[in-house]
Amino acid sequence: MLRINCPWCGVRDELEFSFGGESHITRPTLDADDLQWSDYLFNKENPKGIHCEQWLHKFGCGRWFNVARDTVTHEIYAVYRMGEPKPDLAARDSD
Amino acid sequence: MKGYSAFELIRNAFSGHRHWKPVWRSPEIKKTYDVVLIGAGGHGLATAYNLAKHHGVKNIAVLEKGWLGGGNTGRNTQITRSNYYWPQSAAFFNHSLKLYERLSQELNFNVMLSQRGILTLAHSEHEMEGFRRWANAIRINDVDADMMTRSEIKKLVPLIDLDCRHPVHGGFIQRRGGISRHDAVAWGYARAADALGVDIIQQCEVTGFDIQSGRVRGVNTTRGKIGAGKVCFAVAGHTSHLAKMAGFRVPVTSMQLQAMVSEPIKPCLDTVVTSSVIHMYVSQSDRGELVFGGGADAYNSYAQRGGIPLLQENVAALLELLPAFSRLRVMRQWAGITDITPDTSPIMGKTPVQNLYISGGWGTGGYKAIPAGGDTMAYTIANDQPHSLIAEFGLDRFVSGKLIDEGAASGVAH
């Protein structure tokens, strides 16, 4: 069971949240070619190590936020709001 | 390779079965190989076997970071079927099922294929209509499928509670579907490949690729550099990890898919039952254990254990449909890391790096594809050109947009 620290509601069980996939994906400009669109639409970082991802506090405040979580240990290193930059966690990354 | 036979069994019985020989070698690593396969799971081993057997490639290594068949090949729920909607998928997976049907003879190793049928349940009239369309498409694809009424289902699975919370309206069955023994598939291919001279090297993790002017020349491993003419990786949940080492990105998300077994009981379930609505699938192994599972854990993971909330959901789903099992103990629970693609179809073929091939994106259903994956990938590697059965399963479909959406075809939705 993950215990996720919602920035607005505090620490709650994983069951209250739903997962929204990788964060910080930037939509390319309209003149992007097929390769760039494909990369944007489909390709994933999918790291073995720290993953920056979106979570929704579905059965709580109903707000989205970002989580930096290790995909091997499931340890959560940072919780931060949408729009904030990726935290610098290079020293803790096992990948 | 000494063939297994009734005679060999009796002969060895006279010496108390103490003189059976190991069935594959633990060879020294050579400096270079014509083909290096990364991952000694079903797909890697089957590809090696087919390369050696049918394409005359003699100098092959299969590298495995852990132990042979210890990844998803030894973690899946052993289901084989070919009840796919799209013609490309049906052709490929039915080829695989046909190869499974004679695999024990081909490998001289009993993979214990039991074609007990795979029953898919519908829980509403609308789902029944969808199933009629699906089953019809499957039959047009030259694969067997029969619609089932409630009474036919009750007769086939007497323990089922048809009037559970989401009452069963009917379903369809692929009678040629069933289960086999997953370890035997890995061991059978390993033994047959080893006999053809393939070096299977365990405890050897690939840490990088040697790529010069866009062409792969070898791999770096925890046991030194190994030169290679061609390289193929079939590493399931680690597909992104290997692609990153080779310098390209793939449309893959690694997720935990858990499964579990109950204590063994007398035979009581002689088909595979799946339900997408109740979100479970279950079969009974030849040892008597119920093997069951459900959806994948919701978030990216490489942890191979599976979360408790989903474990609880899986058990609850099983008991909803088959309440008689409520008194059984769960003996073991585990997870495999599945590499799920956006259209839940596999990625097979060439990569942006020359002479580097990919067999991945198998997601939650790679086991049933092992014989065909090995057959078609061996052809693809030997000829540097995709086999006709997998031509549409390449990485390039994500650029062209010609996806093969089989989201509905997995046993349960993930």
Across the interface, whether the CB atoms of B399 and A72 are under 8 A apart is answered no
Across the interface, whether the CB atoms of B298 and A19 are under 8 A apart is answered yes
CB B362 within 8 A of CB B346: yes
Q: Is A46 on the interface with B (CB under 8 A)?
A: yes
Across the interface, whether the CB atoms of A48 and B308 are under 8 A apart is answered no
CATH fit for domain B114-178+254-340, picks 3.40.50.970, 3.30.365.10, 3.30.9.10, 3.40.50.2300: 3.30.9.10
CB B323 within 8 A of CB B161: yes
Domain boundaries along the sequence of chain B: 27-78+182-251+343-400, 114-178+254-340
Q: Are strands A3-6 and A10-13 parallel, antiparallel or unpaired?
A: antiparallel
Of B238, B299, B399, the CB nearest to A35: B399
Q: Is A33 on the interface with B (CB under 8 A)?
A: no
- CA of A21: which chain B residue's CA is closest? B299
CATH number of the domain encompassing residue A59: 3.30.2270.10
Domain count, chain A: 1
Q: Tell whether A8 is covered by a domain.
A: yes
Express each pLDDT in A18-42 by its tens digit: 999 999 999 999 999 999 999 999 9
Contacts B352 to A, Cβ<8 Å? none
Of A38, A45, A72, the CB nearest to B399: A38
Q: Using 50, 70 and 90 to split pLDDT, how confident is the model at A94?
A: low
Of B251, B303, B400, the CB nearest to A74: B303
B22 C-beta neighbours (distance < 10 Å), count: 8
ipTM given for this complex: 0.94
Q: Tell whether A10 is covered by a domain.
A: yes
**pLDDT of res. B2:** 77
Across the interface, whether the CB atoms of B309 and A18 are under 8 A apart is answered no
Full pLDDT tens readout for chain B, 414 residues: 778 999 999 999 999 999 999 999 999 999 999 999 999 999 999 999 999 999 999 999 999 999 999 999 999 999 999 999 999 999 999 999 999 999 999 999 999 999 999 999 999 999 999 999 999 999 999 999 999 999 999 999 999 999 999 999 999 999 999 999 999 999 999 999 999 999 999 999 999 999 999 999 999 999 999 999 999 999 999 999 999 999 999 999 999 999 999 999 999 999 999 999 999 999 999 999 999 999 899 999 999 999 999 999 999 999 999 999 999 999 999 999 999 999 999 999 999 999 999 999 999 999 999 999 999 999 999 999 999 999 999 999 999 999 999 877 666 665
- CA of B308: which chain A residue's CA is closest? A1
Express each pLDDT in A1-14 by its tens digit: 899 999 999 999 99
Average pLDDT over residues A37-62: 97
Side chain identity at B123, as an amino acid letter? H
Closest by CA to B63, choosing from B41, B45, B43, B37, is B37
Across the interface, whether the CB atoms of B303 and A71 are under 8 A apart is answered yes
**B399, B402, B414: which to substitute to probe chain A, counting the most A Cβ within 10 Å?**
B399
**B299, B305, B351, B414: which to substitute to probe chain A, counting the most A Cβ within 10 Å?**
B299
Contacts A94 to B, Cβ<8 Å? none
Tell me how close the Cα of B301 comes to any Cα of chain A, in angstroms. 5
The position carrying tokens 């008991």 is B319
Q: Which domain holds residue A50?
A: 3-26+38-86
Q: Tell whether A11 is covered by a domain.
A: yes
Q: Is A1 on the interface with B (CB under 8 A)?
A: yes
Task: List the CATH code of the domain at B27-78+182-251+343-400.
Answer: 3.50.50.60
Tell me whether residue B406 is exposed, middle or buried, using C-beta atoms within 10 angstroms of its C-beta: 0 to 12, 13 to 18, 19 or more.
buried
Q: A-B interface: how many C-beta pairs under 8 angstroms?
A: 64
**pLDDT of res. A89:** 86
**Residue B371 corresponds to which tokens in the numbers above?**
């014989």
Average pLDDT over residues A45-52: 96
Q: Tell whether A33 is covered by a domain.
A: no
Contacts B399 to A, Cβ<8 Å? 34-35, 38
**Rounded distance, CA A23 to CA A46, Å?**
11
Q: Tell whether A46 is covered by a domain.
A: yes
**A19, A23, A44, A72: which to substitute to probe chain B, counting the most B Cβ within 10 Å?**
A44
**Rounded distance, CA B156 to CA A18, Å?**
38
- CA of A44: which chain B residue's CA is closest? B251
Of B252, B342, B398, the CB nearest to A46: B252
The position carrying tokens 């092992």 is B370
Q: Tell whether A31 is covered by a domain.
A: no
pTM of the model: 0.95
**pLDDT of res. A95:** 54
CB B374 within 8 A of CB B362: no
Q: Tell whether A50 is covered by a domain.
A: yes
Q: What is the DSSP string of B257-309?
A: EEEEEE---SS---SEEEETTTTEEEEE-TTS-EEEEEEEEEEE---SS--HH
